[in-house]
Amino acid sequence: MKWGVVSFPGSLDDRDALFALRDVLGQDAISLWHKDETLDGVECVVLPGGFSYGDYLRTGAIARFAPIMQSVARFAADGGLVIGICNGFQILCEAHLLPGALTRNRSLSFVCDWVTLRVDNSKTAFTRAAGDGELLRLPIKHGEGLYVAPEDDLRAMEERGQVILRYVDESGRDSDESNPNGSMHAIAGVANERFNVFGLMPHPEHAVEPMLGGDDGLRLFRSIIESAS
């Protein structure tokens, strides 16, 4: 499967995403530059983590207008698979390819930790290799991961199953203590209504080998590979 990982000025995790895809999963993954205007025939676009354009104004607000984002928006409108990780999630929200927004963590502190996540919809292209209710361990590292959306929108998203991943404790329950950033409804990852665009704050690309502390990130990448084949 052919993947494209976008690098914006200030992206940090593009190399790790390429490593995960190429070296661990044996995929054909190319690097895409923010000034590129075409996606070179990729089947899935990855918007990686980092601090694109210095996170000036709001996280993802400037990156959203990079030339490549027009192609990404068209690709998504045609049903192409797009996954945004951390800053990539923030960019997708700013671009209105995903609902809601990400704001400053409730604690006002940057959080860097491993979290437990519950898969609340395993029928998507991004989670089909996991089971409903399955728990994943992935790292997070962000200052602005508090997911917000108007309550009415959240209710509709919950009904449609757009909340894919939720922060939970080790027994799989979401509580105030297991919510690392204060996200509404403990949301860690959401999809659009068509389920071809997915954003999440945790980093699957940093959890691809036991040596890195865990390899649950592979579950998400393998889901995408399965759905493309």
Q: Which is nearer to another protein, 109 or 175 (CB)?
A: 109
The yes or no reply on residue 116 touching another protein (CB under 8 A) is: no
Among 111, 148, 156, 212, binds another protein (CB under 8 A): 148
Kindly state the DSSP code that residue 204 receives in the 8-state scheme.
G
Q: Is 65 in the site for another protein (CB under 8 A)?
A: yes
Q: Find the part of the chain contacting another protein (CB under 8 A) among 20-28, 35-43, 101-109, 157-165.
A: 101-109
Of 93, 142, 205, 206, catalytic:
205
Interface with another protein: number of residues (CB under 8 A): 20
Find the length of the chain.
Answer: 229
138 strand-pairing partners: 115
Structural contact between residues 6 and 46, judged by C-beta atoms closer than 8 angstroms: yes
Q: Minimal CA–CA distance to 34: which of 2, 84, 72?
A: 72
Contacts with another protein, 181-210, as mask; x by CB under 8 A = -x----------------------------
- Asked if 110 interacts with another protein (CB under 8 A), we say no
Tell me the closest approach of the beta carbon of residue 99 to another protein, in angstroms: 8
To another protein, the closest distance from the beta carbon of 34 in angstroms equals 17
> Judged by CB under 8 A, which stretch of 44-52, 116-124, 142-150, 214-222 contacts another protein?
142-150
Distance CA 192, CA 200 (A): 12
Contact between residue 27 and residue 3 where contact means Cβ atoms under 8 Å apart: yes
Is there a catalytic annotation at residue 205? Answer: yes
103 touching another protein, by CB under 8 A: yes
162 binds another protein (CB under 8 A): no
DSSP label of 196: S
Choosing from 86, 142, 185, 206, which is the catalytic residue?
Answer: 86
Q: Using an 8 Å Cβ cutoff, are 183 and 91 in contact?
A: no
185 carries an active-site annotation: no
Strands 163-168 and 111-119: antiparallel
Query: Cα dihedral sign for 94, 160, 137, 80?
Result: negative
User: Is residue 108 a contact residue for another protein (CB under 8 A)?
Assistant: yes
61 belongs to the binding site for another protein (CB under 8 A): yes
User: Coil, strand or helix: which one is 156?
Assistant: helix
For the chain, the straight-line distance linking the first and the last C-alpha, in angstroms and rounded, comes to 8
Type of residue at 126: F
The answer to whether residue 178 forms part of the interface with another protein (CB under 8 A) is no
Distance between CA atoms of residues 180 and 92, nearest Å:
21
Interface with another protein by CB under 8 A: which residues? 57-58, 61, 65, 93-94, 99-101, 103-108, 146, 148-150, 182
Known catalytic residues are 86, 203, 205
